[in-house]
Amino acid sequence: MRYPILHKLKDRLNQTWYQVRIGDRLAYISALDAQPDNGLPVLTYHHILRDEENTRFRHTSTTTSVRAFNNQMAWLRDRGYATLSMVQLEGYVKNKINLPARAVVITFDDGLKSVSRYAYPVLKQYGMKATAFIVTSRIKRHPQKWEPKSLQFMSVSELNEIRDVFDFQSHTHFLHRVDGYRRPILLSRSEHNILFDFARSRRALAQFNPHVWYLSYPFGGFNDKAVKAANDAGFHLAVTSMKGKVKPGDNPLLLKRLYILRTDSLETMSRLVSNQPQG
């Protein structure tokens, strides 16, 4: 288990003990019997395709294969990893809850149709939960005919069909675009405009989820205005594209994530998600 450390104590023999809470009781664990918590992995995915139909996005790092994704999820399941919600991640960041030693958060950015087509069945098969950060202006009124050469987005009905596995959170409304210099447009918008967009995104997601408390910055880009707007909009956590694990006490609006590529081996995945310091 991962226990938030309430206090660090020394006994008469100068041995270190950690005070933790187990249920409604205080307990003490010797430092000799404890392992430092090196952080929780928050995994990031976007697009997912079968190898034989992926002719356009084969060299795009944000596109993984159905085969690789299935192997990765099977690996997590076989090793007893729990998949956490963003609510649980929030409790962890704020040092409020105990969590399993082996745990991950699975996130998908954008809200692409391939998530409902390919990721959802795999996650459901393995009894896993995930979070989808949705660009709300791109939600379709009706499902589109599948076309693997295009970036297609989920419809209202497709989102409703995967709600038993996915929690829907914000990836903004109109701010998931880049300017002429290939920079996220969020970086050039006023705080007022950013705040307005965040609020619009939360309203659009309310039909699926009354608790839109979490944000993924478009393209992982942020600045002081965006962070302040996220706070003012009422977001509890926000994730970036900065690489690393999430640790208790991290800035809740600047959380790191990890990318596992289609070409990464399961040994690479093991190194990333295990409780080892990130070098």
132 and 18 inside one domain: no
Nearest 10 degrees: CA dihedral of 228, 232, 237, 242? Answer: -20
259 and 138 inside one domain: yes
Identify the pLDDT of residue 12: 84
Angstrom distance (rounded) from CA 16 to CA 18: 7
DSSP bridge partners of 16: 10
Q: Which of 56-60, 64-68, 264-268 ranks highest by mean pLDDT?
A: 64-68
235 and 104 inside one domain: yes
What is the arithmetic mean of pLDDT over 199-224?
96
**Tens digit of pLDDT for each residue in 90-144?**
999 999 999 999 999 999 999 999 999 999 999 999 999 999 999 999 999 999 9
**Tens digit of pLDDT for each residue in 226-276?**
999 999 999 999 999 999 999 999 999 999 999 988 888 999 999 999 987
Computed over every residue of the chain, the mean pLDDT equals: 94
Residue 18 located in a structural domain: yes
206 and 137 inside one domain: yes
28 and 146 inside one domain: no
Residue 106 located in a structural domain: yes
Burial of 263 (0-12, 13-18, 19+ CB in 10 A): exposed
Look up residue 54 and give its two tokens: 């992926």
Residue 278 located in a structural domain: no
132 and 193 inside one domain: yes
Q: What are phi and psi of 205, to 5 degrees?
A: -85, -10
pLDDT band at 51 (very low <50, low <70, confident <90, very high): very high
Identify the pLDDT of residue 199: 97
What's CA 215's distance to the chain center, in Å?
9
* 56, 149 contact by CB (below 8 A): yes
Residue 60 located in a structural domain: yes
What pTM was computed for the model? 0.92
Angstrom distance (rounded) from CA 117 to CA 32: 47
112 and 26 inside one domain: no
pLDDT band at 3 (very low <50, low <70, confident <90, very high): confident
27 and 44 inside one domain: no
Long-range CB pairs of 249-252, under 8 A, 24+ apart, other chains included: 249/93, 249/95, 250/93, 252/90, 252/93, 252/94
Identify the pLDDT of residue 21: 86
pLDDT at 147 over 90: yes
pLDDT at 204 over 80: yes
Residue 279 located in a structural domain: no
What is the arithmetic mean of pLDDT over 131-159?
98
pLDDT at 278 over 70: no
Residue 187 located in a structural domain: yes
Q: Which residues contact 84 (CB under 8 A, 6 or more apart)?
A: 40, 92, 99, 103, 104, 105, 129
120 and 105 inside one domain: yes
What is the arithmetic mean of pLDDT over 65-89?
97
Identify the pLDDT of residue 8: 85
Count the domains in the chain: 2
106 and 4 inside one domain: no
Residues of the chain above pLDDT 70, percent: 99
5 and 63 inside one domain: no
Residue 219 located in a structural domain: yes
The SS3 assignment for 68 reads helix
Q: What is the CATH number of the domain that holds 168?
A: 3.20.20.370
Residue 173 located in a structural domain: yes
pLDDT at 279 over 70: no
Which amino acid appears at position 126 of this protein? Answer: Y
Identify the pLDDT of residue 87: 98
Among 5-9, 70-74, 82-86, 143-147, which stretch is predicted with the lowest mean pLDDT? 5-9
Which range marks the domain in which residue 55 is found?
A: 37-273
1 and 96 inside one domain: no
Beta strands (DSSP E) in the chain are: 7-10, 16-22, 25-30, 42-45, 47-49, 63-65, 82-83, 103-110, 130-134, 166-170, 214-216, 237-243, 255-259
